[in-house]
Structures are given as structure tokens and as C-alpha cells.
């Protein structure tokens, strides 16, 4: 089921229920899309303004990229639900089934893929938001700061949905490889998001 077709109230209600999906991954994807859109809003309010004519071409290109990022992040909401389904079913396999461990391992790897993808998309979004914050309309710069905060939250939330699964993998080499990739994204882009926020905030106290 594509929960992005629900109203915001319906989504939150299902999220709070005992239904296995949507969960943290789907919520992270939605928050990431919202944060990306906030950055994109700055671009929309910049294009067409004479004051920003010298950066208009760059902003238009970034807006196009963010349009796609928003779509890609929203697509991860149903993708995360689909990715978690095999793992949810695998936990129900009787413990005396000789295939249980193999099926669980394979399903766990599948469940990691979408949260990793969400993180990658969030990193791309933060690269764009950094430009919107630096070069976009000063009247809307607070939205770039808000976008950075939201996308950072999505990045962090998605990482936890990777780590809870890599912890149980039997293939420790693969687990450590995924962990290292996610920790690297968290470090680089968590700092970038903080820098965007602090830069935007500082501008209000000059």
C-alpha cells in the first residue's frame, strides 16, 4: 500500500498503530521529502527575482534536481513497507525450520536497502539545500534552515533502520561495510546540516 496517498492525519494514525508498516523508514522518507521541498521552496521564491538574476540558472537546475529528489523520497515510503514485508514474514517461520536462518538473513539484507537509499537521497538533498541557503532569497532563508533540520532528522532516522538490522546479520563483513557507509554519511552530512542551520540562525542576529 502506498501510504503517501493517505491524508497526513491518516498517515500519522496508521503510524501510531500496531501495524508493522509504515514505520521508521517510511516516516524518514516522508520527512526527507518535506525537508527537500522546504529547500526547494526557497528556490521557487528566488527564480524570477532581478536581485538573484546572476544565480537563477543554478537555482533552476537545483529546483529540477530537488523535484526529482522529492519524488524519489516519497517513493521510498511504499518501498520501505515492501522491503520490510519479507522480514516480517521470516520472523514467523518456525524455529525448527532448517531454512529459517537463511531466509532471515536474506530478508534482513533486503530490509536494509531502502533505508540506505533514503540516506543517500537525503545527502543529495542537503547538498542542494546548502546552495539554496547560501544563494537563495533572503526572505525565505529560514525555510532552507528548516529544510536542513528536517532532512538531517530523516538521515538519522533512516540510519537507525539500517543499524537495527545490520546488528543481527550473520555476514559480519557485509554488516560492517553497510555500517561504515551509513556512519560516513551521518558524519559528513550531519555536520553539513548543522552548519546550514547555524548559518541561517546567525543571519537573524547580525
Choose the CATH number for 23-81+108-203 among 3.20.20.70, 3.40.50.300, 1.20.120.680, 3.40.390.10: 1.20.120.680
Q: In the chain, which stretches have pLDDT less than 70?
A: 1
Start-end of H helices in the chain: 8-16, 24-46, 56-90, 100-135, 141-166, 172-203
pLDDT at 3: 83
Neighbours of 138 (CB within 10 A): 11
> The pTM is what?
0.95
Burial of 14 (0-12, 13-18, 19+ CB in 10 A): middle
- Per-residue pLDDT tens for 131-186? 999 999 999 999 999 999 999 999 999 999 999 999 999 999 999 999 999 999 99
Domains of the chain, residue spans: 23-81+108-203
pLDDT at 6: 86
Q: CA 193 to CA 203: how far, in whole Å?
A: 16
Distances from the Cα of 173 to the Cαs of 108, 164, 177, 180, 192, in angstroms?
Answer: 14, 16, 6, 11, 29
Amino acid at each position: 500500500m502506498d501510504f503517501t496517498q493517505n491524508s497526513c492525519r491518516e498517515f500519522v494514525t496508521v503510524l501510531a498503530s500496531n501495524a508493522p508498516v509504515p514505520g521508521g523508514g517510511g516516516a524518514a522518507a516522508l520527512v526527507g521529502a518535506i525537508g527537500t521541498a522546504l529547500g526547494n521552496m526557497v528556490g521557487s521564491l528566488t527564480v524570477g527575482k532581478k536581485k538573484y538574476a546572476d544565480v537563477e540558472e543554478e537555482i533552476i537546475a537545483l529546483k529540477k534536481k530537488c523535484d526529482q529528489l522529492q519524488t524519489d523520497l516519497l517513493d521510498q515510503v511504499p518501498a520501505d513497507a515492501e522491503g520490510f514485508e519479507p522480514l516480517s514474514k521470516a520472523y514467523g517461520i518456525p524455529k525448527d525450520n532448517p531454512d529459517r536462518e537463511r531466509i532471515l538473513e536474506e530478508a534482513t539484507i533486503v530490509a536494509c536497502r531502502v533505508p540506505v537509499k533514503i540516506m543517500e537521497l537525503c545527502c543529495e538533498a542537503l547538498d542542494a539545500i546548502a546552495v539554496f541557503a547560501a544563494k537563495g532569497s533572503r526572505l525565505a532563508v529560514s525555510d532552507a534552515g528548516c529544510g536542513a533540520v528536517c532532512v538531517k532528522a530523516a538521515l538519522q532516522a533512516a540510519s537507525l533502520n539500517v543499524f537495527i538490522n545490520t546488528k543481527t546479520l550473520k555476514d559480519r563483513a557485509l554488516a560492517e561495510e553497510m555500517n561504515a557507509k551509513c556512519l560516513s554519511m551521518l558524519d559528513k552530512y550531519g555536520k553539513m546540516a548543522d552548519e546550514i542551520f547555524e548559518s541561517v540562525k546567525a543571519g537573524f542576529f547580525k
